[in-house]
Amino acid sequence: MRIALAEVRENFDPDREGKVYAKIEGVGDSDKPINMTSLYNSGAEGTVKTPIPLQGTYILVCQPENCEEWFYLATTGAEFLGNANTPTETLHEFESPNAIGSDRGNETKGGTGRDNDLLIQNELGCGLELAQTLGAKGSVVHSKLFSGQGKKVLVSDSPEIDSVILDSNQGSRISVTGDPKSPALASKAVEINTVGPQTYINLNSATNMVVQDGTELQLINNSTGSNKGVANPEAYGDVTLQSKNRDVNLFTKSGIGRIFIECLNPNGSNEIIQLKTNGNGAIRLIATKVEITADSLGVDATNIDLRASNNINLGAGGSVNIQAGGNVNADGSLVNLNSGASSPPSVNNGEDTNNLGPEGVTAF
């Protein structure tokens, strides 16, 4: 076997044929094709691939007995040998800045035709890729851990992506972004996408979701029921807050804070807001002023007690009807009937509008 020193003259290899062209010392003046080698290659999917040597570097090459081809052994640190022939074109002149190299997996990387990636991959397509393709139209710089079924963990410094991505290749994906140039990715964000359910279980402590100094905290269910289960066909679209052993608290600490509970659909035909205790409990309304505005007000109770420290004023645009199964008792220092001395009620109920408007959240 013959071993020789060679200078890499050209490493432009957009078709990934695994070749460089070098001037071999003592073997004529023309550049010879050098076949790249690997520490491991199964002949199928399994391989360990390193970047090809740069133009102008010196490498060790070998030619086996009874073989006309030359093979790459290693890159050396040898000094320039003063070859008579020099490359007819510099790298900058030869390569178009828009040259495209075809990546493994039939993906396309913008950049030059040099293959600068490092790849370790086994027989089942599981491996590690370290990419460093730089170009005028785009750059691909990342570390990627991947499986043969398309699962991957991508740590990318590519300007378009600039993210850490965990992807199952089955619709479940978590993205933690930096400052990507792609309009499809928000900057400095965390995005979680799943096709199946999302479950968060805290075994021994608290779960906190805090907007420290951002904008809104929103919980939105847009489900139309197209993916509802067969066992419980009504189980879709709800937003549920439930405590098994203690309270459910809904607070605002703002001095001008408001709490709205609304049915927003103006065309709704059977909208209901229901407050109910199923045990021996109470529903209390405690405020400086309680306002009730309705087209119809119905009160049904075993006993009704009304007490005012000042006046009770009752008024009706129509009749006032009082019926009793027993006595009707009216006591006072003076009881006037049809005297014109009564005072009409003074009702000054108002209505506020929430900050989101009559349609609520429309961003999703």
Task: Give residue 314's pLDDT.
Answer: 92
pLDDT confidence of residue 93: 42
Lowest mean pLDDT among 66-75, 144-153, 228-237, 273-282: 228-237
pLDDT at 105: 37
**Residue 97 pLDDT exceeds 60:** no
From the list 357, 355, 358, the residue with the least C-alpha distance to 216 is 355
Q: For residue 252, is it left (φ>0), alpha (ψ between -120 and 50) or beta?
A: beta
Domain 2-39+53-94 in this protein, CATH class: mainly beta
Chain segment 274-312, per-residue pLDDT in tens: 999 999 999 999 999 999 999 999 999 999 999 999 999
Report which secondary-structure segment, H or E, holds 129: strand 127-133
Least confident of 9-18, 92-101, 197-206, 226-235: 92-101
**pLDDT per position as a tens digit, 348-362:** 888 888 888 888 888
Distance in angstroms (rounded) separating the CA atoms of residues 81 and 336: 125
Q: Which of 36-50, 132-146, 219-233, 322-336 has the highest mean pLDDT?
A: 322-336
Read off the pLDDT of each residue in 113-126 and give the average, rounded to a whole number.
83
Q: Would you state the pLDDT for residue 2?
A: 94
In this predicted structure, what is the pLDDT of residue 96? 39
Among 67, 59, 53, smallest CA distance to 25 is for 59
Give the pTM. 0.72
DSSP string, 48-104: EE-PPPPTT-EEEEEE-TT---EEEEEE--PPP---S---SS-HHHHS-TT-EEEPG
Task: State yes or no: pLDDT of 154 exceeds 80.
Answer: yes
Buried b vs exposed e over 2-13: b needs ≥16 C-beta within 10 Å?
eebbbbbbbbbb
Binning pLDDT at 50, 70 and 90, where does residue 363 land?
confident
pLDDT of amino acid 229: 79
Query: pLDDT band for position 78 (50/70/90)?
Result: low
81 or 181, greater pLDDT:
181
What confidence score (pLDDT) does residue 25 get?
92
CB 100 within 8 A of CB 14: yes
Domain layout of the chain by residue ranges = 2-39+53-94, 100-193
Q: Residue 89's pLDDT is what?
A: 41
pLDDT of residue 11 exceeding 60, the answer is yes
- pLDDT class of 112 with cuts at 50, 70, 90: low
* pLDDT attached to residue 80: 52
Tokens read off for 3: 């071993």
